[in-house]
Structure 1
Amino acid sequence: MRQTDRHDPTSQERFPMTQLPPAALDSARTYQRSMVPVMFMTWVAALLDAAGVTAGSRVLDVACGPGTVARQAAERVGPGGAVSALDLNPAMLEVARTEPAPDAPQIAWQHGSAQALPYPDAAFSAVTCQQGLQFFPDRPGALREMRRVLEPGGRVAALVNRAHGENPLFGLLNAAGLKHVGVPLFAAPFSLGDREELERLLTEAGFEDVEVTAHTRTVRFPQPETFVPMILQGAAAAVPELAALSVSQREALHARITDDLSGWVAEHTENGELVETMGAHLAVGRR
């Protein structure tokens, strides 16, 4: 059955700043200010290339976060194209709206779920998803939705982290969270690290010409001494167990994990920066 009129009438609602929890906004702002430039910006061009985003494209960015991919997509598509961006987190969308892309079409920011996209069938020529698929409760359902809103021949491109073995710093952070909080705090972001599983998900969702490639980037975090509190505050935007901590609990956790990682951080600090390699899979499929 076609779903040409699918739309959530409440999903366009703007969430006033006064109604958003201050802690959620703080986490979203830290994510945008400190994590995006180092951890995410470097992958965007490859993601847009893989999705075939060019002048005139109609693009949907799913799990858009603070708008990192959507803004660069808007610059690419130009006045003849269009960009929509969807996220479930109102705080992320509020941050995204504060940084419009210059000299680019206006981005249509949308609050909603990847598992029930509020768009008609075949509405887009490209769908992107950077570091979101692994968090979805129903990954197959979300991928079927992405395929539904793609026009025939359109492409999806999704970037997800590889396992902790290819991201050792976050493996250490995950172990520290398990030790001190009893919860593997950095398990979810790396939970779809198996290449074959990722390929199978896209294939079973109906995508053709599926290809999954491994990529590695070197990332450099300034001010290594503040890395742990920064990464925990930013990660709280996507990790409920971190978001639930009180200020005092979070500060205590910062201190304990900083102590646990102090030797590793010292060994990997070069010229005043914490240097780490990060591994990700780039998955591409065609409708």
Structure 2
Amino acid sequence: MPKFAANLSMMFNEVPFPERFAAAAKAGFKAVEFLFPYDYAPAEVAGWLKENGLVNALFNLPPGDFAAGERGIASLPGREQEFRDGVAKAVEYALALGTPKVHCMAGLVPAGGDHAQHRALYIENVRYAAQEMAKHGRMLVIEPINHRDMPGYFLNTQAEGHAVCKEIGLPNLKVQMDFYHCQIVEGDLTMTFKNNFAGIGHVQIASVPTRNEPDEGEINYRHIFKLLDEMGYDGFVGCEYRPRGRTEDGLGWFREIPCPLSSKEC
């Protein structure tokens, strides 16, 4: 069965961030992911993981001024040194937390921006980040994100993401497939996953269109979980969704997972 990582930036918001590690472990999760750990010292975050028997599946590179609306700077001209400093900081945290994969956010392209210019810089920055991660045995992932949630985001489709990875050609650079974003932008989830499987480095889930628990809406996640097993996906599945209410009250789908999907009793 798939291995799930609770996204602590979106789940268990009933308690402060440091307390979410214990809440996730109590709920039965063995792994967590989060957007950014940088408000806390590496040793603090590592301690919360260790205390609760958790592994950290993924976090993001520094995104620029997130509070002001920035969503990454990899494709933004004039931010090259800031980007490289962020890579160094992410490496520090990845080593301290034992995190195997780090996500590089592309950024928002301003209206009328020169797409070719942004793409050239994006390729350069992603290549640099992947090379730095490779020095420490880490994977870098890039994620296509839909324009409805994030208008102007540079990278939108799985095809675009895999084309970037192919152009750069580094073995530790892969694409993150969030089934939520992919359904909104492209659909055809089964074949998209199968056709790109070798280049997919991380998976995330949420319902469509509401981005709540994966137990409603357009996506049949029972089918998706079976697909992951059939294809031999052995990474974590990030639960990047917004609970409808209290996080624990919406974990019925998670508690049913140990039951074989082929069983008529499930």
Task: Give the shorter-chain TM-score range.
Answer: 0.3 to 0.5
Structure with a larger share of its residues in helix: 1
Query: Normalised by the size of structure 1, how large is the TM-score?
Result: 0.31
Structure with a larger share of its residues in strand: 1
Query: Normalised by the size of structure 2, how large is the TM-score?
Result: 0.33
